[in-house]
Every structure is written in C-alpha cells, then in structure tokens.
Structure 1
Amino acid sequence: MKGTPTIASCVLSAACFACLPPVDAATLDITAQFRADSSKPQLNTFVNTTPNAGYCVQFAALCQSAGIFSLSLRTGASGGPIQANHEDARQGAMLKVPANWRRADVIHSGTGHTEAVEVRVVGIGGAIGLTPNATEIVGGGVGEETAYNMIFGSSWWHAPGPCTSLGSSISHAWFFWRASVEDVCAKPSRYLISQFKYQDLSFAYELRTPNPLKMAGGQYRGSLTLGIGPGRDFDFGDVVVPDDSALTLNFTLDVEHVLKVEIPPGGNRVELEPREGWQAWLNNGSKPTVLSRDQSFHISTSSPFSMKLQCRYMAGTECGMTVPGSGIYYPVDVYVTLPDGLTNTSGQPVSRRHLPVSGFANPVQFLPVRYIDRKPGTLHFQIRSSSVAAMLDREPGAYFGSVTVIWDSEV
C-alpha cells in the first residue's frame, strides 16, 4: 500500500491599495481631471474642467467644435496718440499672442513627481474704444460702419493677416481674432487717434496634458507666468500700454484611478498538486517533480501599479510552506500573468513574471497601455522539484503556508 500523498495547500489573500485623490500679477486657474470610467474605457485623456469665460461663453458650440477654451485676460490696455499713416506697426494698434506651445511643470502633491503641461493661445478678442469716437475722428457726416472703414480699412472685426476672424461680428468695435502663428497682427490707422483702448479682453487657448495612465493618482500643481507688454508674450505694441505686466496661469490636474482585483469565490484557498494529479504516484509509484496551481483573477485598472508578496512563513527569501511544528520550510515561487494591455516598465507583455517578497526585493511595476476593465489574469504557484523530492522523502503530511499578494497603485 502506497503512503498517503503529501498535500501542499496555500491560503491566498489579495490586498489592493487604490490611490484616490485626496494668487502680484493677474492670475487665472486652469483645471483638468482624469477619472477612470468603465463605461468609457477608450477615454484615456484629461478633461478640461475650467469654466469658460469671455468668447467661448458666447460662442460655445464654435469653441467646442474647434477644441478650444477661453478665459478673461483680466487686463486691458490703452494709450495714444496713434499717428495717422504710421509706418511702424508697433506705433499703432497691434496684437501678438503666445501662439507657440509653452511648457509648465506640474508636481504631485504627495510624491513630488513631475509631469509637463503645455498651453498655447490661439485667439484673442474683446472690444476697442476710440477717443474721440470713430465718426468724430473722420470729421462726422458718416455712419459708424463707414467711419471704421475709413480709419482702418474695415471694421475691427475683420482680422489682419496672419490672424483670421473667428465667430461673427456683433459690432464694428468688437472682435475675436484667431492666431495660428506667433506673429504681429496690426491694423494701421489712416487718421489720428488721440486715445485707443482694448477692453473686456479674453483669449482662447489649447491645452496639452500628459498621459494619465502613466501618472500616479492624486493632484498635480504648477504655474506658468506669461509677460504682458512690449516685446513680451502678450504684446500690444509700443503705444498701447497694458494695465498689468504679467499673467500667471495656475494649473491643477486631478488624477482619479481605478484599481480593482477580483478573486473568484473559494479562490483564496490554493491546493498545490502534480499537473497530472496524485493518481500516477498512487498507481505506479511515479513521484511528481513539481507541485503547482494556477489561480485566476480579474483586474480593472487605469493606474500604474506594483505587486509584491507578504508571507506567514519564510523559506530563505521566498514564502514558505511547512508541516506545523516541524521547523522545516520549503519555498513557494509565485508568478503572475497579466492581460493584454498591461506591460512591464519596458513595454513588454507580462507572462509568468516572478513576484518578490516585500523586504527582500523591490516590488515589480506594471503599466496600463489603456484602461483595463475586468480582464483575466493568472497567479501561478509552484514548489520546485528539489523541494518536492525532499517533501516526499519525509513522513506524509499536509503542508501549509499563507501568501498575501499586494496590488499597489502607490508606485
């Protein structure tokens, strides 16, 4: 009669730690948020949550279709006189905005990790004021539309190159100019203007944000200061002087990740056995060489995460199994296979990646290529052949151990 097979069993626990998110010059706040949404797994970008002000409030549909947003500049500009038929654009009414991308670093409030945000201004508008008014400047006797045409060649709404008009005209003094390049847009005057003024200015901007799937959850903050005045980011020329010399943009990016691991009912108890079962040994004495078991799980994540082990018993630097009271411990190797869309830090698929024990090696890190919504993965438990041979040479018994697998988004 053959001896009773040695049975190795391991109690598996799973722990998930999901990381949730917990103004002198003129200042403006720009906010954006990434919140993982299982109903929209393809949406892996930040959403600009900054309330529009100025132009894009009035022309919301146009801005939305163009992918732009607007904010009030919170500064005006005025000056004079502007001489008639001036040859230098800087001596008249002109505009130049920061149409090239500007970078700002944003820093995680907890870890200090830095990412980059980029912003560019793609349009500017508001209203102009003339003193005396347009009709008086040209000597009277004509309507306002004709007066603007006489002074500037067209109403102020018609943009000079390289700017282009955006939206529709609501008055001859109102305008919004699209700026596709960082260059001067000027409308020389054919008449003497005693005083020229920009008022109720707003600007349209585009925002370029980092990949949230590569960012830890939490809040990132940073700022960018743009100069206002002659030769600076917002430039109104040499005659028209701004009320402020700088504009500071304060950026806040909120990242709310999902990290959820589901182990099926009963999956926390793992019994390791030969691949062909114990019957071969019972029937013909053929000793098994490896004891193993695969345990499936489902994972949902939008977050970079790490994995590591904690053990009740140790066998060297690995989790151990023992017959209670024997004082002898045998190592259990634990590996993980992750679903398509999750990679290691080198961008490679994850197949049977060895998991280290906390305290003996750094956790292994994994990155999502896209939002992963309840996809299957596998934990592989295995006792090496040398240990199996030693276990089978001892008196038959039941070996026990406890392994806690930790999925941790706080990488």
Structure 2
Amino acid sequence: MNIKLLVKYNPAGLVLFMVLMVGQLVWQASAQATSIIISAEFTPSRNNPNNKTFTNTSRLTGVCSNTHAAWCQANNVFSVATGVSSESTKMGNGVTDHGRGSIYFDMPEQRIITVTSDAGEVATLNLRITGMAFRYGHTDLPVDGWRSDTSDLRGCREVFGNLNVTNSIMRIIMRNDNGAGGCSSCSYGMLADREFEYHGLDIIYELETPEPLNIKNGIYRGASTYTRGGLGRDLDMGDGVNIPDPYLNIHFELTVNHIFALEFPPGSETAILQPLGDWSQWTDYKKVPATLRKDQHFTVSGSTNFSVNLNCEYLMPDGRCGISNGVSTVPLDVAITMPGFLGRADLGFAEALNYPLTQSFTHVPRFSPKDGATFQRRSYLRFEVNGDPIKEMVTHPGTQYKGRVTVIFDADM
C-alpha cells in the first residue's frame, strides 16, 4: 500500500507584532497629529511552549521606560508619551474643588480595534487606557511655595507622587475600573491660582489580544484616532487647557508567525500490513489473523490549528479508504495519534489518540495544540484491516491488495 503525504502550509511561520513609537506626521485634512504605533508578538518558543498569549513588544516611552519600569512590568501595564509638553498650558481658577478647572482627566472607554491582513483576514483586540502619568509646573516660576498637595484625588487612585520639586511635580494615577468600564473622570481637589504647564503626559494602557491559535499568518494593520483637549474630547483634560496638537493617532501593526512542521522517516511512503504477531498462525494452522496493521511514525511541531483529511484511490461508501486486488476491495481503517493535540469533528472533541480518519468534504477533523506550541511530538498514523474483511482477503491467495491513500495536513497559516 502506498501512502502519499500532502502538507499545506507556509514554512515562514507565524508571529503577531505591534509597535508603539512616537512620531509626527501631517494629515492632509487635519491639523498636526502625534502618531503612535503599538506592537505585540506571539513567537512559539521551546523555552515556553505553554504560552498562548502575545507579548507586548512596543517601544516604551514615558513613565514605564525609566525609573518606574519595574512597577509597570509587575502590574502588566505599558506607557507611551503622547507628545504633550510645555506648549500645553492650563490656567487655574483658584477654586479648590474636583471640577473641570482642577487637574482633571476624563479617560475614554475601552476600544475594540479591528486589524486586517493583506490577505483580508480580520482580527480584533481591545485597547484600554488604564491611567495617566504627568508632570506639571508653573510656566515661569519654580513650583516651591505653590499648592501641590494632590492627596485629595477623586475617581482614580494615585500610585506615585513626588513632593515639591524645583522644576516639576510628577504623578501617576490609575483608573479604579482598570479601563474596562465606560468613561472615567479623575480630578484633584487642588489647583494653583495661576497658569501652569504640563511638562509631559503619558498614557498607561493595557492591550487585550486574541487567542494566537485563531489567527493566521500575515501582517495585520489597523488604526484608531483619539482627540485630546477640553470638553468633548476623547482625552478630556478639563477646562482652560490649551493643546496645539489635538489628535493622537494610534497605529497597530501585527505580524503573525506560527510554526507547523512534519518529519517522516525515509520509507514512510509505503506501508506493508502484517498480523500483530506474524503469519505463522495462518500458514501453520490456517487461523485467520484478527488484524493486519502498520504504524507509520512521524513527529509534528505546531502552534496553530490544522486539519487532517484523506484522499482515497478506492473510496468505500462510509468514507473509509479501501485496498483492492482487482477482484475484491476491502475497507482500510486509518487513524492518527498525536499526543498533546486535541481533535474535533462535528460536536466531538477529544485528544488525538487513535483518532479515526476518513475522506470527507464536510466533516474534516481539526486539531489544536492542547497546551500551546508543541515541538517534535512523537506521533503515528495507523493503517489496518480488521475482522471479516481479512477472511475475504485470504480467499484470494497469491494476489496483492494495495491502494493509494493521500494524507492531507492543512494548517491555518
């Protein structure tokens, strides 16, 4: 019996990639805008085969890129500088309250971002703005002596705040809903009775990415624009704020790179079926074997879903392949065993242990790595004839039963 193996996949592999950098660009139809790129990556690794999530690989700017990097890493948050600088000023009204005239931030609800590959595949992710980090000070005087007590914060929690510093005061605030709710307002009870400026304004964010197993290879791109400034802006900084650059464009670029590889030893293209013992029970005692079998071993590496189908030279009515001597045709049972992979067809779902295969156009079984990426897992294809068909075969001594079976591995790459 000859076996043909057909593997359909892109050998380049799968990696999800997004980057976050700060730059400047000029829109044809709008004012100057700050441009940011966010990135995340899924790379199958032998050192961490159980990983099923993306790693944020964005270029960090702002508060998480320096002294507070360890805190950000421990809390799984990332920051980007938004380009707000000393050109962005705000005039206080001298009123000590939690109103829009105070140091005030209204952060938007989470956004669902759609990214599309060059091949037209679509994926979605969630971007949550979970907090802000900012430095502020007086426009032309040292901050010493003017009110900087920011202990009275409403709507958020302060996770870091320095005392009066000669040039600027720095604060990190986080939303109480972790960015998963709607809009969230944060305001301090204090406000200097004079104009002050922001020396820096950073967004602290979380990125929720989809299941890597469900994304095909390709470069995915998407974008979303946030407005910033006063009332009605996505990033509302309260009344009296002056931001020359009102647009913040966030670009997403995702490169997905899975692995899928099969390794068969030489000679695997031919399977000779034998009794589980040998032919002596038949030759010596005319006892018909219960099973004729051949296991073809191979290794499989994969981090993505894939299907396994058959194409039969002799197709039986029930979808099984057959082998024939030209006079009679008997059914051949084909099964696959791949420890560490889960198989499903219709509503069934089970580990791929002696998982039956047939030729089908509508019920092709699909397999997924059970615990993330799997590397060089020892597996095998089992070909066998069982029971009564063997009784039919032994009535044709001196003939050869054979047939071609093509095993098709089709990975979602």
Fold-level match, TM-score > 0.5? Answer: yes
Counterparts of 1:166 and 1:404, CA distance in 2? 64
Contact 1:308–1:357 (Cα < 8 Å) also in 2:
yes
User: Hey, what does 1:163 align to over in structure 2?
Assistant: 157
Aligned to 1:178: 173
Q: What residue number does 2:400 align with?
A: 398
Q: Note closer, same or farther for the CA distance 1:88–1:266 as it changes in structure 2 (3 Å cut).
A: closer
The answer to whether the Cα contact below 8 Å between 1:32 and 1:47 also exists between their aligned partners in 2 is: yes
Match of 1:17 in 2: 9
Q: Which residue identity lines up with residue 83 of structure 1 in the other structure? A: N
- Whichever residue aligns with residue 273 of structure 1, its letter is Q
Partner residue in 2 for 1:368: 369
Aligned to 2:259: 258
Matched residue, 1:147: 145
TM-score, normalization by structure 2: 0.79
CA, structure 1 residues 32+88, in 2 after alignment: closer, same or farther (shift >3 Å)? closer
Structure 2 residue 126 is the aligned partner of structure 1 residue 118: yes
Q: Deviations over 1:191-230 (max 9, x none)?
A: 2x2x343243222222222221333333333334434242
Rounded to whole Å, the distance in 2 between the matches of 1:121 and 1:113 is 23
Report if the CA contact (8 A) 1:310-1:357 is conserved. Answer: yes
Q: CA RMSD in A?
A: 3.2
Larger radius of gyration: 1
Mapping 1:272-351, distance limit 5 Å: 272-315=273-316, 317-323=319-325, 326=326, 329-344=329-344, 347-351=349-353
Residue 63, structure 1, aligned to residue 63, structure 2: no
Alignment partners' CA distance in 2, 1:283 and 1:56: 80
**Counterparts of 1:396 and 1:171, CA distance in 2:** 100
Q: Distance in 1 between matches of 2:158 and 2:352?
A: 51
Whichever structure has more helix as a proportion of its residues is: 1
C-alpha distance after superposition, 1:258-299 (max 9, x if no partner): 212223444333211233432221112122354322333222
What is the match of residue 6 of structure 1? none
3-state SS in 1 of match to 2:74: helix
Q: List per-residue Cα deviations over 1:152-202 (Å, max 9, x = no partner).
A: 243x7x7835331437576552423221323322253352x2x34324322
CA 1:258/1:88 → structure 2, altered by over 3 Å: closer, same or farther?
A: closer
Closer, same or farther in 2 for the Cα pair 1:92/1:348, shift >3 Å?
same
SS in 1 for 2:271: strand
- Tell me if the contact between 2:137 and 2:169 (Cα under 8 Å) persists in the aligned partners: no
- Give aligned pairs, total: 381
- 1:140-162 Cα distance to aligned partner (Å, 9 max, x none): xxxx35323xxx243x7x78353
Q: Which residue of 2 aligns with 1:102?
A: 111
User: What is the CA-CA distance between 1:90 and the residue it aligns to?
Assistant: 0.8
After alignment, is 121-130 or 278-287 more displaced?
Answer: 121-130
By relative contact order (CA 8 Å, sep 6+), the higher-ranking structure is 1
Q: 1:308 to 1:50 in 2, by over 3 A?
A: same
Retained in 1: the 8 A contact 2:136–2:199? yes
> CA separation in 1, counterparts of 2:77 and 2:216?
27
- Equivalents in 1 of 2:329, 2:343: separation in Å? 33
Instruction: Report the 3-state secondary structure (helix = DSSP H, G, I; strand = E; otherwise coil) of the residue aligned with 1:147.
Output: coil
Q: TM-score, structure 1 length as denominator? A: 0.79
Equivalent residues of 1:261, 1:297 under 8 A apart = yes
- Unaligned 5+ residue runs, structure 1? 1-8, 135-143
Give unpaired runs (5+ residues) of structure 2.
16-26, 177-183
The 5 Å alignment of 1:230-269 reads 230-269=231-270
Go from structure 1 to structure 2 and tell me whether the alpha carbon gap of 1:56 and 1:275 turns closer, same or farther (over 3 Å shift). Answer: same
Query: Contact 2:334–2:382 (CA<8 Å) still a contact in 1?
Result: yes
Which position in structure 2 is the counterpart of 1:36? 44
Alpha-carbon shift at residue 251 of structure 1 (Å): 2.2
How far apart, in 1, do the equivalents of 2:218 and 2:43 lie? 11
Aligned partner (choices 39, 46, 61) of residue 53 of structure 1: 61
Partner of 1:204: 204
Q: Closer, same or farther in 2 for the Cα pair 1:328/1:347, shift >3 Å?
A: closer
Q: How far apart, CA to CA, are the structure 2 residues paired with 1:396 and 1:93? A: 94
Deviates more, 1:201-210 or 1:217-226: 217-226
Distance in 1 between the 2:82 and 2:101 partners?
A: 23
